[in-house]
Chain A
């Protein structure tokens, strides 16, 4: 146990060895001076008189202390030697190498390893950094010790002609669930699932993640044929359990699977000892060499470093929709190949429904975290523990199995009903005991048969190679560690022959945006010796499609090449599990896509054309709409294709901005009020602002004729656009502009809409009026704007006079344009209000119609009067008024035609 000691990096090199204090053979103690050395350094000396500093070389002699205990065996340095850098200085025969440590203590000498010592550069705990014991994290060993231990292990294995087999629990050899329904079914022999769950074992844990989980039972279903499988395999392999469950869980399951402890012994490692929540690592158990270790696991992504040694098993799903109860720490699995759509669609669906949103959300977040932290983040761990707890509670509460069974029962009932009805309603049938109910739990897994075959094959091949190696080395003795072949390599060779020469393209199997060469499925395909190609080429042999959502483009392309076998993903899964190129015939994917042409009755050129036209659109559809819906798989005549694809494009063309706008407007504007109900703004809707404004302008005589003309010109340029004025006018106009806009839009809407506007609705009327106004009279529009400006200015100070005008115009317009009966309430209120404000001479008691007339007359008269009065001053205003009237006449006509 001699150890070479270095001087260390902390010395002030270069140094000169002055004296060696100990001679070889002497015992040395930690922190005891062993040698003296000197070094030179510059000292800064301050000249007190001059005030300046200078450097002076100093030589200092110090001692070097021993970093360790033991006996000095040999010096590598001599007195007087000048040393410029860190180098080995002596060999010490140590009393103890501290190669095995337990909880900070050396397990060989009992010394405390956690003591930090100024003389030593490294801590003693660093001497034994390797965890290699299954059930402990406190026990660590040094590399030497690990190597020795492993060598012993290999010797033993070679002697008994065995290999090591690391076995995963969940979904590989068993499936666990905590749904209490299982327990109830076990007690109820009449239950259709009784036969299936009879064999299910259960136990309770006292270290569950929560109280709830502590009280619940874990139900363990062994994979069919597991006992025989393990017994036979244990002849060839020494088995270890490596699970992501807790320690207690792992031990209990091991007890269920292996009651005598013959198969696994205490070779059980769980996530508690793994040191990593997200990945398993063979180096945790076999730190030196994994040449003799095979793994069986249902997930390959948890073995990032040991992929060659892994035989991936198809996951065992007995309790439908439960999955792996201990997988909440792991990233979501990406490698589900067994098409759940057919074999256990029910389970898949249920699972998707239950855990879909939740896991997706959290997993995405977690995965990002995991990638960054790589593991030992306590906060993350806590989060995941909580997550698992939630999942547990959910399972206990929701009882997914019961739900599934009930669903099945219901289906059965319906089916039964149907049959009963079809059989002339023979009532006697229903009194007889009900026919066999379907059961949720089917125990029809055959994976272990194949697995045993593979493991046997692998074992045989391995020892054949070992024997031939040994023969060539011609060594004596019963074991030869140098000729141990690497089982990972052999496994890869064996697997690589399976699909050799196949060129496979995937379609719809992987989500978009995933690198196929790094995906689980892609890696697996390649590990079986097949070439994975991203696109259909002429030398492609197989197209693997996801039967529930095949990718359109590749499928069509492959159909054009008859030599490409289009198979469902089950084919791939079966090839993987059987290690042979399975006959494709039962897996051929023959369903036609919607809109796909029949290959027989269409000439090839034609197909090409269609494809070209289709590709872009099909691509689009796949990426947004169709993908979600899933392609309909049914036979559709070739003619159906155009119809299927067309509507999107046509819609876009047809519904130009108008319809779009109207669509938006529909949402923004309140619905038309039902008849009889009075809207507070009804009167405003029917109000003709333009004429009022014109009149107001006229009345106030603010606009000089020049200005008016200018405005007119401008407006003729951009007639609909009020924006200019808005910008000129300042903040106050902001709202009015928007109201104008909305009015325009409303107009447009009314135009685009089929003219079914009910004549009684004032708002409709208003719209159609606007419409016509815009269409017909540009000049009116031109006047409208400056007038509006005035109106806005006026609206701040409420002029009673103006109000009167407003009311007048309102009534006038109604009378004038439509000549229709307007809702009485509105008019009345309006009129009354106006009259009250204005103290108009008209009595309040008067009825609506008369009121109208009277108001109209009044307004008319007044307008006339003013026109006469101000004709000289304001010619333009008068013109406007006249136009207004003309317009009014026109409107009546227009509306009539509309109505008709």
Chain B
């Protein structure tokens, strides 16, 4: 789910950048630093604006200036139970991996409808019910997240296509 989230971050600036457009530089650096990163539970998708750039404080010893920047960002936090769309990356006998934006999901063969089986002889390998549903590399799938785990800068998720309206989108 997407959120607009007010966040705060300390940005340091090298003394060689001290000057008139310091605040612009601070914003640029902030955007470069945080956009697209995983901050624990959520991904920071985009920085909307900065609403508060504090006065710079020279850090003793290094000469870098530190600014405390308050900013507003679009963040995406996947939730357990949430249904998202993803693109299949690889398929193996235990299930398939799908990518939903920055998040990597694994859908185990246990969490698929019973009729969907792994077919290794196909090129490329696929999960199929031998009818309309074919999940192979590149297939768009709708997945329900049933488990999430986060580490610093990393997130893992388990998905399921066992349910109504879940699974292959092209079908």
Contact = CB atoms under 8 A, between A and B. Distances in A.
A114 B149 contact: yes
Contacts of A105: 106, 147-149, 156-158
Given A107-B110, A262-B123, A265-B124, A145 B94 contact: yes
Contacts of B94: 100, 107, 133, 139, 141, 145, 149
Contacts of B93: 133, 149, 152-153
Contact of A261 (B92, B111, B120, B123): B123
Interface string B26-44: 0000000000000000000
A136 B97 contact: yes
B117 to A, nearest CB: 10
Interface of B is mostly: strand
B146 interface: yes
A103 B156 contact: yes
B12 interface: no
Contacts of B92: 133-136, 139, 266
Interface in A117-158: 133-136, 138-139, 141, 145, 149, 152-153, 156
Nearest to A260: B123
Given A100-B95, A105-B149, A261-B124, A266 B90 contact: yes
A110 B147 contact: yes
B133 interface: no
Interface in A228-277: 238, 260-262, 265-266
A415 interface: no
A851 B95 CA distance: 112
Contacts of A133: 92-94
Contacts of A265: 123-125
Contacts of B120: 153, 156, 238
A112 interface: yes
B108 A112 contact: no
Contacts of B158: 102, 105-107, 110
A12 interface: no
Nearest to A110: B147
Interface in B83-142: 90-95, 97, 106, 108, 110-111, 118, 120-121, 123-125, 137
Interface in B150-169: 154, 156-158, 160
B5 interface: no
A622 B92 CA distance: 57
A156 B121 contact: yes
Range for the number of chain A residues in contact with chain B: 20 to 34
A141 B91 CA distance: 15
Given A109-B146, A152-B93, A139 B106 contact: yes
B80 interface: yes
Given A105-B157, A156-B120, A110 B106 contact: no
A102 B106 contact: yes
A110 B146 contact: yes
Interface in A352-382: none
Contact of A112 (B97, B110, B147, B154): B147
Interface residues of B, number: 29
Contacts of B146: 109-110
A214 interface: no
Interface string A78-117: 0000000000000000000000101111111111101000
B79 to A, nearest CB: 12
B125 A107 contact: no
Given A102-B156, A102-B158, A156-B121, A266 B91 contact: yes
Interface string A149-182: 1001100100010000000000000000000000
A437 B20 CA distance: 67
B137 A266 contact: yes
A550 B6 CA distance: 79
B108 A100 contact: yes
A8 B154 CA distance: 34
A165 to B, nearest CB: 15
Given A103-B156, A135-B90, A108 B110 contact: yes
A607 B146 CA distance: 86
Interface string B67-84: 000000000000010000
Contacts of A149: 93-94
B156 A104 contact: yes
A860 B118 CA distance: 120
A153 B156 CA distance: 28
Nearest to A134: B92
A153 B94 CA distance: 12
Contacts of B124: 261, 265-266
Contacts of A111: 147
B3 to A, nearest CB: 22
A736 B93 CA distance: 90
A149 B118 CA distance: 10
B24 to A, nearest CB: 30
Contacts of B110: 100, 107-108
Contacts of B121: 156, 160
Nearest to A145: B94
Q: Which of B97, B110, B137 counts the most chain A CB atoms within 10 A?
A: B110
Contacts of A145: 94
A104 B125 contact: no
A78 to B, nearest CB: 36
A104 B154 CA distance: 12
Q: Which of A108, A133, A160, A262 counts the most chain B CB atoms within 10 A?
A: A108
A133 B109 CA distance: 14
Contacts of A156: 120-121
Nearest to A114: B149
A339 B91 CA distance: 44
Nearest to B154: A103
Contacts of B111: 107-108
Contacts of A107: 94-95, 106, 108, 110-111, 158
Q: Which of B120, B125, B149 counts the most chain A CB atoms within 10 A?
A: B149
Q: Which of A103, A110, A238 counts the most chain B CB atoms within 10 A?
A: A110
B20 to A, nearest CB: 34
A105 to B, nearest CB: 5
Contacts of B157: 105
Nearest to B95: A107
A138 B145 CA distance: 18
Contact of A138 (B123, B156, B160): B156
A160 B120 CA distance: 12
Given A135-B92, A145-B94, A266-B137, A103 B149 contact: yes
A238 to B, nearest CB: 8
A523 to B, nearest CB: 34
Nearest to B157: A105
A712 to B, nearest CB: 82
Interface in B45-67: none
A153 B118 CA distance: 11
B5 to A, nearest CB: 24
A100 B108 CA distance: 8
A168 B82 CA distance: 43
Contacts of A110: 80, 145-148, 158, 160
A265 B80 CA distance: 33
Nearest to A267: B125
Nearest to A150: B93
Q: Which 3 A-B pairs have the closest CB atoms?
A: A110-B147, A103-B156, A110-B146
Interface of B: 80, 90-95, 97, 106, 108, 110-111, 118, 120-121, 123-125, 137, 145-149, 154, 156-158, 160
Interface of A: 100, 102-112, 114, 133-136, 138-139, 141, 145, 149, 152-153, 156, 160, 238, 260-262, 265-266
Given A107-B111, A110-B148, A266-B92, 19 more contacts: A103-B106, A103-B149, A105-B106, A105-B147, A105-B156, A107-B158, A110-B145, A110-B146, A111-B147, A136-B90, A136-B92, A145-B94, A152-B93, A153-B93, A156-B121, A260-B123, A265-B124, A266-B91, A266-B137
10 contacts: A100-B94, A102-B106, A104-B156, A105-B157, A105-B158, A107-B111, A108-B110, A133-B94, A134-B92, A260-B123
